[in-house]
Amino acid sequence: MLVPCEIMTRKTLIDENRELINDELVALQSIYPELELDGNNCGRVSIPVSTEDTFYLSFPDLKRTNNIDTIATKHFPAIELEFFLREGYPQKSPPVFFLKSSWLPMRQRRTLTSSMVRLWNEIHDCVLFDAIELLRSSASSAFQSPKEMVFPSDSESLKQEFLTTDKHASLMDFENRTFTCLICFDNFSGKDCFRLARCGHVCCKQCLTDYYSVCIEEGMFTQLKCVDLECAKTASILTLEEMEMIVGPELRKRFQELDEKRRYENDANIVFCPRKSCQGPARRDPGQKLAICLKCDFAFCSFCQASWHGDLSACKLQGDSKKLVKMYLDYQESDADKAEELEKRYGKRILDKLVEQVKNDEEAERWALLNGQRCPTCDRVVERIDGCCHMICLCGTHFCFLCGAYLMEANPYIHFNDPMSTCYAMLFASPEEKQRFSENWL
């Protein structure tokens, strides 16, 4: 049974310990803002692990048998220190420590826990700050871990955790440094810069955004690479992920559309959908008419752009048939493959008929020019059987049979009496003279 003096001594000790604990926890929270307390003398704090040396971590590749995926890193997932302050701490009882880590072996965690407890054994006083600092100083060497570590085959999630941690820590290091932009040569904080993944060159975000935006809008896709002149000689263009981070999703999508169209335009077997609302790419077999749009599934003739009319039906003629005939005849002499393509497109019989028709029309036009004259108003061919060269068409137009010029109805013969006229003194020109006159116009 405790006597009153002993009760008072114990109560005083408890009060002193409580005051010491409160002071220690307040001090710790001011030093480590990330410290979490639950109000029951329990708390936890995360210890970042970054090293000066590079560590090599090997993970079995689950996709390929007997293949090892090795990661080089200086940043490890943080370890978590949990502590519980028992009754009697800090003078009579040591704190209870728990270390949580996804990668640090249990044996090393026990060694670290024992080291922190030994700190209390040496002084029997507040040791939380010393324990945390012990972990932070040991973290610089990854707690004496070997430089090369091999993890078991079921560590895929741990591998991803390492990659995420390293990426985040590297980004924080980058943002806290200062860099000189390779374009404008001003100095910027890493937060305002972008580092290209493949070569590591750094430029300010504004310069890179402006430069790559112009390259995309102007179609200069070969310039979408590092701006360093030497690096650009061998560097490949940006990845789509990097491009979107710099110029945004809209311009990245614009680049993909333009690049795809450029590649399609260089492919002789790609045509584009004739629908104005689509205009998507369509692939066809070499030399064949049928094309099907990859975007809207519209089947159409790749020659005439009309909806699909079958291989046996010829394409409808569009435009000037004389130009088509001239092109066909030229191809027959210079390029048999293109002549054959036109035959597939319009049909050989139709082209032969067109050639015959055009030749007949040209012959008729030649005859009409040598032996007749077209009315300048209605284009009707007028033949002179007898009489003078003053002609009156059925439409009532007065014109010259030789040159086709309009004649004044009141005085049509002034045209033939004017010394400056090409038809001067030729009112009664013979058919032979008419032909010689017209040959000058052929």
Do 292 and 251 lie in one domain? The reply is: no
Q: Are 17 and 93 in contact (CB under 8 A)?
A: no
- Mapped onto helix, strand or coil, the DSSP state of residue 436 is helix
Question: In this structure, what CATH number is given to the domain that contains residue 71?
Answer: 3.10.110.10
Predicted local confidence at residue 171, as pLDDT: 87
Close Cβ partners of 194 (under 8 Å, ≥ 6 residues apart): 202, 203, 204, 205, 208, 245, 246
- Predicted TM-score of the model (pTM): 0.52
Assigned domain for 411 exists: yes
Between the CA of residue 76 and those of 89, 105, 127, 143, 145, what are the distances in Å? 32, 13, 26, 11, 11
Question: 199, 231, 388, 393: which one is catalytic?
Answer: 388
Assigned domain for 137 exists: yes
One-letter amino acid for residue 290 of the chain: L
Cα angle: 309, vertex 310, 313; to 5 degrees:
80
Predicted local confidence at residue 338, as pLDDT: 80
Q: Domain ends where: 146, 167, 187?
A: 146
Predicted local confidence at residue 12, as pLDDT: 66
Do 260 and 276 lie in one domain? The reply is: no
Do 39 and 84 lie in one domain? The reply is: yes
Predicted local confidence at residue 351, as pLDDT: 76
Predicted local confidence at residue 207, as pLDDT: 92
Assigned domain for 350 exists: yes
Predicted local confidence at residue 368, as pLDDT: 73
Do 127 and 37 lie in one domain? The reply is: yes
The CA distance from 118 to 201, in Å, is 48
Do 188 and 290 lie in one domain? The reply is: no
Q: Structurally, how many domains does the chain consist of?
A: 5
Assigned domain for 28 exists: yes
Do 18 and 107 lie in one domain? The reply is: yes
Do 45 and 81 lie in one domain? The reply is: yes
Predicted local confidence at residue 1, as pLDDT: 47
Do 132 and 195 lie in one domain? The reply is: no
Between the CA of residue 233 and those of 184, 201, 216, 226, 237, what are the distances in Å? 21, 14, 19, 9, 11
Do 37 and 114 lie in one domain? The reply is: yes
Do 136 and 216 lie in one domain? The reply is: no
The sign of the CA dihedral 312, 316, 317, 319 is negative
Question: In this structure, what CATH number is given to the domain that contains residue 259?
Answer: 3.30.40.10
Predicted local confidence at residue 65, as pLDDT: 66
Assigned domain for 160 exists: no
Over the chain (442 residues), the average pLDDT of each successive run of 10 is 50 74 91 89 92 90 76 93 91 92 93 94 92 93 91 88 91 90 92 88 92 88 86 84 88 84 74 83 79 86 79 66 78 82 72 79 76 84 86 91 87 88 84 68 50
Predicted local confidence at residue 3, as pLDDT: 46
**Residues of the domain holding 388:** 381-439
Q: Mind giving me the DSSP string for 95-145?
A: PEEEEE-SSS-HHHHHHHHHHHHHHHHHHSS--HHHHHHHHHHHHTTTTT-
Assigned domain for 125 exists: yes
Burial class of 6 by CB neighbour count within 10 A (0 to 12, 13 to 18, 19+): exposed
Q: Are 224 and 238 in contact (CB under 8 A)?
A: yes
Assigned domain for 54 exists: yes
> Can you tell me which residue has the tokens 């008729």?
364
Do 50 and 138 lie in one domain? The reply is: yes
Do 290 and 392 lie in one domain? The reply is: no
Predicted local confidence at residue 418, as pLDDT: 87
Q: Is 388 a catalytic residue?
A: yes
Predicted local confidence at residue 103, as pLDDT: 93
